[in-house]
Structure 1
C-alpha cells in the first residue's frame, strides 16, 4: 500500500498530476479540490494517497488532506460508486459540504454532480449517514471537529476494525478518560458499547 507521496510536482493535467520521487514519476489522480490548491510545477508536494490494484490497472489517487482520503475510502465502499465517481463527488463538494449534505439528507445537492443520478444520490445518503464522521473529524472548523489523542485514535481504529460503525466508535471514545492506556481504553470502550446494546 502506498499511503503518502512526497516529491517534486512535474506536471499538472486535470485531474492528473505527475510527481517525481527520487527519479520515479508517479501519475496520481486527484480531486479538483486538491488540484486547485497545488503549488506551481517544480515545487515539492506531499499527498495522502490511496492505491487501487485492479486486474487491468494499478491506480494511485492523491488527496491534500487526510479527511479527503477518508471520505474517498468511504465512498468507494458503496455499491455502484467507483473511484471516478468518488473523485467527481470530492471535486464538486468539500468533505465538510459532503458531511452537511449527508446530515441534511439533501439528494438535490448530490444530483448536481456529473455522474450522480437520483438513485445513486439516495443510496449515498443512506449508506454515508453513519460513516462520514471519521473523515470530517480531521477537518479544522468542521462541526464537532476535535483532534483525538493518540490513545483515542488507536482505540477508535480498534473499534472500527471490530465492526462497530463510526458513530458507535466515536461515542465510546468520547466517554473515555484521557489517561488510559490503549488496551485499557479498548476494554472500557467495549464495556460502554455492550451496555448500550
Structure 2
C-alpha cells in the first residue's frame, strides 16, 4: 500500500479528486502522477456542482488520464476536446471500481488484503473553532516505526466528554491503506502532505468508522 502517493491538497483543494486520483495512481502503478488540476478542470466542465469518486473514475475512463508535467496549465475548466489532446487513453480498460453503501470492517480488511484500494467517505462533526472535530485527534498512536502525535479520528478523546460521533456537518474522503487489529485502527492516507499525521498517514478507530463512515468505493 506504500505506493499510494502522499500529496498536499492545500487549504482549498479538491478532496474527492485528490483522493480518487491518488488511489488510482497506486492501483494502476502509474509511472507518473495524475494531474489533479487538469482532472478537476474537466470535472468542473462536466459536473459544475462537484463530482463523486464514481463520476471522477468514469470521466478518467472516458476521456483518459493527464499526467503532471512542467508548464501544464488547464485553468478552472477545460473544453473536452482540449483535454483529449493532452490525455493518455491507454488505461481505459484498467479502470474498474465498485461502490458500496459501506463495507464492514471485515470486508474492508479482506479488500485491502486482496490488494485493492478503498476510498472511504465519512462524516465529521464540524464544531466552529474546534479543529479536532474535523482534522482528527492529537493522540499517541503506535505507527510503523515510532509512537507519534497526530491524526486519529475517534469518537471520544480520553478524559473528555465530547462525542465526535454525532452532529455530522462536514465530510471527507480518505484512502484506506491498512489496519491494526491490536489497536482497532484503520490506517488512512490523507491529502495534507508529509508533515500531517505520520508522514501523511492518519488513523481511524473501528468505532468511528462504524458510526461515521457513509460509503466505500473499491478500485479493483
TM-score between both structures, scaled by the size of structure 2: 0.29
Higher helix share: 1
TM-score between both structures, scaled by the size of structure 1: 0.32
